[in-house]
């Protein structure tokens, strides 16, 4: 049975350890955005022993490149990007203290193992609900890599941003569980 959790950022190990796959989570507070190009730059900084442009410890990165903000709104549509494109970079960010990512689709075994090792989770946001998700963003500021346009790193202030736990710190995978359950029920 899944739980409904109202979460305030930043995250802690105790909070992360309480999550189980299938839990519905409503995030309030600060989350950061980053996609492929920004991830590449962040990992290059780490590899060169340099500081990244924000404190990643206990934070959440949302894989999104919001569309331009319409008048009176902080962002335009902001639906999740397919997560596997960041899988090559994610373990290094988890090692630096990142506690959660948000995207769509499943993660590689390497990322799942890194989440287990570093006590992190993966949330999925509903693809196709970009306008609804944008309504949960109350403030947005570009904090790094403005030259990347929509893929710049942004600091978002969100209120009750809806996600589901797809991978927990125990190595459980909602995608695999769903397939196994479907196979059992259809047999």
Per annotation, catalytic residue among 15, 19, 21, 39 = 39
For residue 101, CA distances in Å to 28, 112, 147, 181 come to 15, 12, 23, 25
Q: What is the pLDDT averaged over residues 39-54?
A: 97
Arithmetic mean of pLDDT over the chain: 93
User: What class is the 4-186 domain?
Assistant: alpha beta
What's the pTM? 0.94
Question: What is Dmax (Cα atoms) for the chain?
Answer: 54
Q: pLDDT tens digit string along 156-173? A: 999 999 999 999 999 999
39 noted as active-site residue: yes
Per-domain residue ranges for the chain? 4-186
């Amino acid at each position: 049975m899944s739980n409904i959790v109202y979460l305030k950022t930043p995250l802690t190990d105790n909070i992360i350890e309480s999550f189980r796959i299938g839990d519905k989570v409503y995030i309030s507070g600060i989350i950061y955005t980053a996609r492929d190009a920004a991830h590449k730059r962040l990992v290059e900084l780490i590899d060169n022993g340099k500081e990244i442009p924000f404190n990643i410890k206990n934070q959440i990165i949302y894989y999104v490149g919001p569309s331009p903000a319409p008048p009176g709104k902080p962002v335009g549509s902001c639906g999740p990007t397919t997560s596997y494109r960041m899988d090559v970079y994610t373990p290094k960010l988890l090692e630096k203290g990142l506690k959660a990512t948000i995207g769509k689709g499943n993660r590689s075994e390497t990322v799942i193992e890194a989440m287990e090792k570093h006590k992190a989770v993966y949330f999925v946001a509903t693809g196709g609900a970009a306008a609804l998700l944008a309504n949960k963003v109350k403030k947005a500021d570009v904090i790094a890599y403005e030259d990347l346009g929509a893929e710049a790193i942004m600091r978002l202030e969100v209120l009750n941003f809806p996600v589901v736990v797809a991978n927990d710190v125990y190595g459980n995978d909602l995608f695999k569980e769903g397939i196994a359950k479907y196979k059992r029920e259809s047999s």
